[in-house]
Structure 1
Amino acid sequence: MLALLPIRASTSIRTSFVRSLSTTSFLLAEPAPSNAGSNGATKVPISLIASLRKIHPVPLAQAREALERSNLDLNSAIDYLQSAAGSSANAENKAAKVSGRSTNEGVIAISLLGGKRVGMIHLGCETDFVARNEVFLKTARGVAETTAFLDVPGSEEDGQHDHQHRKDSATVVAANNAMAVVTENAKPRDPILEFPTDSLLSAPLIFLPQSDPSSSSSSSTPIPTTDPQTIRQTLLSSLSQTGENLKLLRAVSFAAPFPSAPTVRFVPGAYAHGGPSDKEGKVGGIIVLSVTSMDKEKPIASMIHGPGGDALEKDLGDFARTIARQVVGFPTKAVQKGDSAVEDEEVLYEQPFMMFNGDDRKVKEVLEAWGKEKGVVVKVVGMRRWAVGDELAPAEGNKEASV
């Protein structure tokens, strides 16, 4: 599990998560009641529960029940779990039976953490009825939060490559955007990375506290759990309750470089439409801004950490969200002309910025004017817009993952 944690583990949110995982064994090791209770139930040693769950991963209560029913015999408990109604084995069988069904409905779920990290996932299901079901939506939120919290995983060597990809991407973007020196031939790599869905299935589901909807940032400290589950286990549980085929179709994430460079700031923005909140819906979009100072003698780091820096950082977060709303509200396929063969209405910079006070100026004009007012240069360096009805192409580099 810990192998999936980000290489860059010096931030407070990541440190607290590692601590929460390290204390899980203590949480699990709470002493059982000193007596078996008035019903004469068998007292189950926690060490035996742990041994069973290593062989056959199931929720804590289910492992205890199996051992109670099998009179503390480990092999009998495994047999019980494999044959018991509602067991993981039955969930696996149900998943296999429905695996061939199409998943044309679903939800786009987004998680924005502390104004520094963002994840977006597409979780598919069979019907719109289930797509609006709270069990399904809660599952999607958890997967999105996990995607935002974790870096793209891999082996140690691959992890270094992924980490270097982030560093290289950030370095190129910073070099090209610092002091507004961007040319046609100096285009940075996309800082938004594809998150392999098969890797996500084996990642631990991370529960995060609900943030104040009026705040542009959120608390990013994971909630410790005494019974951690992988995303795959969570999807199987959701499948058992909904009775429909579920597929994790695609996932992406962005993490601002840490430590940040003094000359450039990266700010993610996110928005979803057509669902119960702006974090999940039928359409979702994320963007990444690069922000540099217009004053060569006063880099952006000095502005953020100086007088009025908190207000500037909040304004940048709000502005990034507004741009993400623009991306979602229009059929946006590219940031600038030349990125691909698309119509002007599909190019973000050429669209009228309707989400910014109903402004009829082009997005690129508003970016320039807003930046001048704040003393900064603002550019969109990354963008994704997904809809539930999108036709998924293998070229996206992220194959769907069934449970």
Structure 2
Amino acid sequence: MLKTRPAIFASLRFYSQNAEKPPLKLVAELRKLTEVSITKAREALAASNNDVSAALDWLQKDLAVSGAKKAAKVAHRAAGEGLVSASILSRGTGSSDGHGGVRAALVELNCETDFVARNALFGRLVADVAHTAAFLAESGSSRQLERTYVHPVPREQLLDAPLLSAEGPGLSPATRAGLGSQGTVGSAIRDSIAKLGENIVLQRAVTVTHDPIPRVRGDLGLRIVSYIHGGVLPTQGRIGALALIALKSPRLTPLLGTLNFCEELERIERSLARQIVGFDTSSIRGEEEGALYNQPFMMFGDALEGETVEAGLARWARQKQLVLDTDGTDAGGLEVAEFVKWTIGETADAL
């Protein structure tokens, strides 16, 4: 036995000396570009003769195959965790972005565990999906405030859409490398399933869009506001809402030209969004307990004790001179036109 050991050790030494391993420098470079594991980076480089460009192509093809296999394998698993994410590209009347139009989206992306829901890769994915939905949303022109501006997006339509980065083109390492820069929302979800090992499901998505109101109607305005709670980032969490705010006043244009009014407007808008999220809000008006306007305005710091949301909005509009008395008739005001509120785990009956 003792005589055979040198021969064994010699064969082991011979094998280790002749097995060509990818240099650590190239492994580190590939991981920086793609964020893949060390094992996968070595495998890609070994299959590509240590050519980084070829390794990127290999990884792209491998990810597509492994993602499809993994997605099929875990498709039966329940996905009860995840994130609600909002993307607002244009806030509406008086904002510097979007020339006064409204363009926003709210999406819910589900996974299996809270651990994955808090993963940075999953967070970037849901941000990109929300950005894509908002960017590709179709808007229509209308001068009627009574129109519905919140529209559900068919899941299959969004899954087939090209994925757009919320960070902008070329900013993420994977995008710079060309890994993940192509493809659809659906393929991006499959790729993430392969990387994270959990079932990931696009549960639902809505968009809120409205073209700028013509200048001839300078007394009207629509604005969008969001509030998300229970997440690491302010635009992602376990519960969130988008609220469409309608403004009407003969003094709207000059008021929006003053910094103080705009700051106060943003503060009460955020208070309304927090109110919707913080309470069991199911409607705007009505006799039911979940009606927003019947709730005590707890999220607005300037609200009087016991004052309802409806009364608080009316008082605020008068204080800020948004409402003027004309022959005894109130001309103007601020109101919540529409809202959508989601909590992770709810059933998306509309979709």
The residue that corresponds to 2:347 in the other structure is 391
- SS for the counterpart of 1:136 is helix
Which residue matches 2:87? 111
Partner residue, 1:233: 187
Distance 1:356 1:114 in 2: 24
Verify the 8 A CA contact 2:127 2:166 in the aligned structure 1.
no
Deviations 1:240-265 (A, max 9, x none): 11111111111111123225542211
* From 329, 338, 350, the counterpart of 1:382: 338
Q: Distance in 2 between matches of 1:265 and 1:387?
A: 29
CA 1:322/1:149 → structure 2, altered by over 3 Å: closer, same or farther? Answer: farther
Q: Please tell me whether residue 369 in structure 1 is matched to residue 302 in structure 2.
A: no
* Counterpart check, 1:89 vs 2:45: no
Distance in 1 (CA, whole Å) between partners of 2:231 and 2:283 is: 24
Q: Secondary structure at the match of 2:141?
A: helix
Identity across matched positions, percent: 30
**Cα shift at 1:364:** 0.5
Q: Is the CA contact 1:269–1:321 (under 8 Å) kept in the aligned structure 2?
A: yes
Is 1:336 equivalent to 2:270 in the alignment?
no
CA contact (8 A) 1:104 1:124 kept: yes
State the number of aligned residues. 275
Indicate conservation of the 8 Å contact 1:288/1:320, yes or no. Answer: no
Q: Which moved more, 1:279-288 or 1:190-199?
A: 190-199
1:337/1:88 CA distance change after superposition, 3 Å: same
Shift of 1:358: 7.3
Match for 1:352 among 281, 286, 296?
296
Structure 1 gap segments, 5+ residues each = 1-38, 40-60, 72-76, 153-162, 174-187, 210-221, 399-403
Which runs of 5 or more structure 2 residues have no equivalent in the other structure?
A: 1-22, 24-40, 93-102, 323-332
The letter of the residue matching 1:303 is L
Deviation at 1:383, TM superposition (A): 0.5
Q: 1:269 corresponds to which residue? A: 225
Q: Is the 8 A contact 1:265 1:301 kept in 2?
A: no
What's the TM-score once normalised by structure 2's chain length? 0.70
Give yes or no for contact 2:67–2:192 (8 Å, CA) kept in 1. Answer: no
Residue 133 of structure 1 pairs with residue 111 of structure 2: no
SS at match of 1:240: helix
Name the counterpart of 1:313. 262
Letter in 1 for 2:65: A
| Cα displacement (A) at 1:319 | 2.1
- 2:326 counterpart residue number: none
Q: TM-score, length-normalised on structure 1?
A: 0.61
| Cα RMSD (Å) | 3.0
- Mapped to 1, the partners of 2:127 and 2:63 lie a distance apart of 24
The change in CA–CA distance for 1:127 and 1:379 in structure 2 (over 3 A counts) is same
Check 1:199–1:67 CA distance in 2 against 1; reply closer, same or farther (3 A cut): farther
Per-residue deviation, residues 199-225 of structure 1 (Å, max 9, x unmatched): 22222322334xxxxxxxxxxxx4456
Counterpart in the other structure of 2:242? 286
Shift of 1:110: 1.2
Q: 1:243 — aligned with what?
A: 197
CA contact (8 A) 1:196 1:251 kept: yes
Stretch moving more, 129-138 or 108-117 = 108-117
> What does residue range 154-165 of structure 1 map to in structure 2 within 5 Å?
163=139
Matched, 1:149 2:130: no
| Compared CA separation, residues 354 and 272, structure 1 to 2 (3 A) | same
Question: By how many angstroms is 1:172 displaced?
Answer: 1.9
- Residues 388 and 362 of structure 1: CA distance in aligned 2, closer, same or farther (over 3 Å): same
Q: Report the Cα distance in structure 2 between the residues aligned to 1:192 and 1:103, rounded to whole angstroms.
A: 26
Q: How far apart, CA to CA, are the structure 2 residues paired with 1:268 and 1:66?
A: 51
Residue 9 of structure 1: aligned partner:
none
Higher strand share: 2
Displacement of 1:380 in angstroms is 0.6
Partner amino acid for 2:108?
Answer: H
